[in-house]
A and B are shown apart, each in its own frame.
Chain A
Amino acid sequence: MSLEIEKRDNALIVRVYGEFDLRAAEFHRHDIDEKFRTQGAKHIIFNLGGLTFIDSSGLGVILGRYRKVTENGGRVAITNVPPRFNRILELSGVNRLIPVYDDEAEALRELA
C-alpha cells in the first residue's frame, strides 16, 4: 500500500492506494500521525478511491485516527469509497461514526 498525503485548508488529505491490512497499518500509522502533527492540520480526510483491499487492521487505523483527531476537536471524513467496500464499512460501524462523502471537494466544504 502507498499513501499520498497532502494538506489542504486545515485538513490532511490521506489518499490510500492498494491493500490496507496489518502490514500497511503497521507501516503507515505513524506516517499519518507524524504528518498530521508536523503540518498542523485539524481534520483528516481519507480518500479511499485507490483502495483494493481493507480488513479490520486498516479500519483500525482509520478509527484510531478518528479517536485522536476528535479528542482535539477535529473531524474525520472518508471519500471516494469503491462500492465493493460499502458493506465492510457498514458492518464495522465506521460509516456511523465517520461521515462518507463522494469526493474530497465535498468533504472539504463540509469540514470548512
Chain B
Amino acid sequence: MRLEFLSLPENVGLARVAVAAFVAGRDLQVNELEEIKVAVSEAVTNSIIHGYKERSDGVISVTASLYDRFLEVVVEDQGKGMSDPNQVMKPGVGTDPERVGLGFMFMKSFMDEVDVWSEPGQGTKVKMVKLLPDKTNTPGNSRENGG
C-alpha cells in the first residue's frame, strides 16, 4: 500500500488508520495494532513538525508492505532533513517543550526495528518493521483479541 498526502495535522490520523486497515486481515491483538498506529502517527508527526516545519504544502508518503512474518512501514518526506538522525533517536532530545522527544522512543519501543536515513535538505526516510504472528497458523488458532 502506498499513500501520499499533504503535511497537514489532520492527515496523521488518516495515515495511521490506513496502515491499521491494511494489516486488518492479519491476526493481530488490539495492543499490537495500537502500537503500529502510534508508531505511524509519530513518524508522520515528525515529518510535519520537523521535516516541513509545519508547512502544509509538503508531501509525505507512507508505504506499507505485508510479508509472511512482518509488516514494513516506510514514512518519507522531502523536508529539511537532518545531519545526524541518530541524535534525534535519543530520548529527551526535542526542541519544543511541548514536544517531549517521545516520538522516536515510542517508535523504537513499539516496533521491532526502526531505521532513519536523512541528509540536510534531502528529506527524511523512516523504515519500521513489526514482526507479526505467522499467518500460516492464523485461521482458527487460539490467539485472542485481548484489550
> With an 8 A cutoff between CB atoms, is A8 at the interface?
no
Contact yes or no, A29 B106, CB < 8 A: no
Interface residues of A in 21-36 (CB under 8 A from B): 21-23, 25-26, 29
Count contacts between A and B, CB distance < 8 Å. Answer: 69
Q: Give the total of A residues in contact with B, Cβ under 8 Å.
A: 23
Contact yes or no, B45 A59, CB < 8 A: no
Q: Interface stretch among B61-69, B72-80, B97-105?
A: B97-105
> With an 8 A cutoff between CB atoms, is A19 at the interface?
yes
CA distance in complex: A45, B13 (Å): 26
The residue from B16, B30, B100, B147 contacting A59, defined by CB atoms under 8 A apart: B100
> With an 8 A cutoff between CB atoms, is A112 at the interface?
no
B30 — which chain A residues lie within 8 A by C-beta?
A: 84
Q: Interface stretch among B31-39, B112-120, B129-137?
A: B31-39
Contact yes or no, B97 A21, CB < 8 A: no
The residue from B16, B34, B48 contacting A84, defined by CB atoms under 8 A apart: B34
Contact yes or no, B9 A83, CB < 8 A: no
Which secondary structure dominates chain A's binding surface?
A: helix
B144 — which chain A residues lie within 8 A by C-beta?
A: none
CA distance in complex: A25, B102 (Å): 15
Contact yes or no, A22 B38, CB < 8 A: no
Which secondary structure dominates chain B's binding surface?
A: helix
Interface residues of A in 73-91 (CB under 8 A from B): 83-84, 87-88, 91
Categorize the interface residue count of chain B: 20 to 34
Interface residues of A in 6-21 (CB under 8 A from B): 19, 21
* Nearest chain B residue, comparing its CB with the CB of A27: B9
* Nearest chain B residue, comparing its CB with the CB of A60: B98
Contact yes or no, A29 B42, CB < 8 A: no
B42 — which chain A residues lie within 8 A by C-beta?
A: 55-56
Interface residues of A in 50-72 (CB under 8 A from B): 53, 55-57, 59-61, 63-64, 67
In angstroms, how far is the closest chain A Cβ from the Cβ of B123?
Answer: 19
Contact yes or no, B102 A21, CB < 8 A: no
A interface residues (Cβ-Cβ under 8 A, vs B): 19, 21-23, 25-26, 29, 53, 55-57, 59-61, 63-64, 67, 83-84, 87-88, 91-92
Interface CB pairs A-B, < 8 A, 24: A21-B12, A22-B12, A22-B49, A23-B9, A23-B10, A23-B13, A29-B98, A53-B34, A53-B37, A55-B41, A56-B100, A56-B106, A60-B99, A60-B100, A61-B98, A63-B98, A64-B98, A67-B97, A83-B147, A84-B30, A87-B31, A88-B106, A91-B105, A92-B100
